[in-house]
Amino acid sequence: MATQCPQCSTRYVRRAHREGVLERLASLVYVYPFRCQLCTHRFRVLQWGIRYANQLVDRRQFERIPARVLVTFSGDRISGEGVVTNLSVRNCALQTATPLSEGALLQMRLQIWDRKPAVTIEQAAVRSVRPSSVGLQFIEFQGGESHRLGQFVSGLLGLPAFKSIPG
pLDDT(11) > 90: no
Q: Is the dihedral of CA 81, 143, 86, 42 positive or negative?
A: positive
In this prediction the pTM is 0.77
Helix, strand, coil % over all residues of the chain, rounded to 5: 15, 40, 45
- Does 139 lie in the same domain as 110? yes
CATH of the domain at 125: 2.40.10.220
Three-state DSSP at 156 gives helix
pLDDT tens-digit series, residues 49-74: 887 766 555 566 787 889 999 999 99
- Does 51 lie in the same domain as 80? no
What dihedral do alpha carbons 129, 107, 14, 69 form, nearest 10°? -80
Count how many domains the chain has.
2
pLDDT band for 12, please (50, 70, 90 cuts). Answer: confident
CB atoms within 10 A of CB 23: 15
Rounded Cα–Cα distance for residues 136 and 124 (Å):
6
- Structural domain of residue 91, as residue ranges? 65-156
- Does 150 lie in the same domain as 70? yes
The strand pairing partners of 15, in sequence order, are 34
